[in-house]
Copies of this chain bind each other. A is one copy, B any other.
Amino acid sequence: MPRPPKGVTIADVAARAGVSLSTVSRALNGNPTVDPTLVAKVQDAAAALDYTASAVARSLVLGRTQTVAVVVPDLGNPTFQAILRGLSRAAAADDYHVLVADSAESVDEERVLATATRRRTDGVILCAPRLPQDELDRLVGGLQPVVLINRASGDVPSVRADYGSALTAELTHLHALGHRRIVFLAGAPGSVANAARLEAIEAFRIAHPDTDVTEIPCGVDFEAGAAAAPAVLESDATAALAFNDLVAMGLLSALQASGCRVPDDLSVAGFDGIPFAQYTTPPLTTSAVPAAELGAQAWSRMRELLESAEPGHPLTLLPELTVRGSTGPAAGARVS
């Protein structure tokens, strides 16, 4: 077997085929103004030399890399994974590549990675829940084309899930079950995802003066949820609403470990609708965020931007309330 020829260039192909560089370029790029005979010759030569045009050189001359960057807060979180997956597959279908960057839930990294990855790609899709709004506004200017996920900034194309409405739906669900004292396990204080939820809670409080919704600072992962269990038990709440499913799972587990029965003693609801929420015991009531769809739509926006077509209008998807066994009638309501 011939050694895989390193550094075969277009000149080598041209020499072997007995034509000029441009003819090789044209032939290989399907330019119709080339004699079919020569096309065949060129293709043969290219095949024989195992030639493929240097992507970097093409990128330089064409001014585009066929690659987009995606910045996510945590590759370990199923929600962002689903977004990335949907995005990656959609982009691949359009022959685009995806450069990923994990900001490790850090504001600094979100900022740095966005600009760093942008320099070697044609655009960046930003999922940066922690970045303060003013910084985001400032950042996106120098990043274009940009698509935002779960954020907005000026008229930058964006796709988002309506966290507020979804949380309201969950609260309403709990209220209908008779819950009047509810605790909310909050996520990262600075994040917009958390802010959206808090806003919905505030509106709910006003609409339902009979119901007491209190916040407990918590976090975004298993450990945070488990660590919050004592605080939840100490409160006199009959239902706990977690920032996301990971928190809910951690909480659920810790609660049950200390003898608390769910949903008999306490109802627990999550958020995001990760696949695993279906397999806890009891299965988790949650709001199903169509994350993969969000990713695919984000790509769609980016594609339009890259083709300098009108980007689709901002998209807002409504997560679907998914009622499962972890929520039930309020303990108090049952007694009365």
Contact = CB atoms under 8 A, between A and B. Distances in A.
28 contacts: A1-B141, A4-B144, A54-B60, A54-B119, A55-B119, A55-B120, A56-B65, A56-B120, A57-B60, A60-B60, A75-B81, A78-B78, A78-B81, A88-B101, A88-B102, A89-B102, A92-B102, A97-B99, A97-B116, A97-B117, A98-B101, A99-B100, A100-B100, A222-B275, A222-B279, A249-B279, A252-B279, A253-B279
Interface string A57-74: 101100001110000001
Nearest to A276: B276
Given A81-B81, A88-B101, A280 B280 contact: yes
A128 interface: no
Contacts of A4: 141-142, 144
A281 interface: yes
Contacts of A99: 67, 97-100
Contacts of A85: 74-76, 102
A252 B278 CA distance: 11
A279 B276 contact: yes
Size class of the contact patch on chain A: 35 or more
A289 interface: no
Interface of A: 1, 4, 50, 52, 54-57, 59-60, 65-67, 74-76, 78, 81-82, 84-85, 88-89, 92, 97-102, 104, 115-117, 119-120, 141-142, 144, 222, 249-250, 252-253, 275-276, 278-281
Given A222-B275, A281-B281, A98 B97 contact: no
A75 B67 contact: no
A1 B134 CA distance: 14
Nearest to A53: B119
A75 B88 contact: yes
A85 B101 CA distance: 9
A100 B102 contact: no
A52 B115 CA distance: 10
Contacts of A92: 101-102
A152 to B, nearest CB: 19
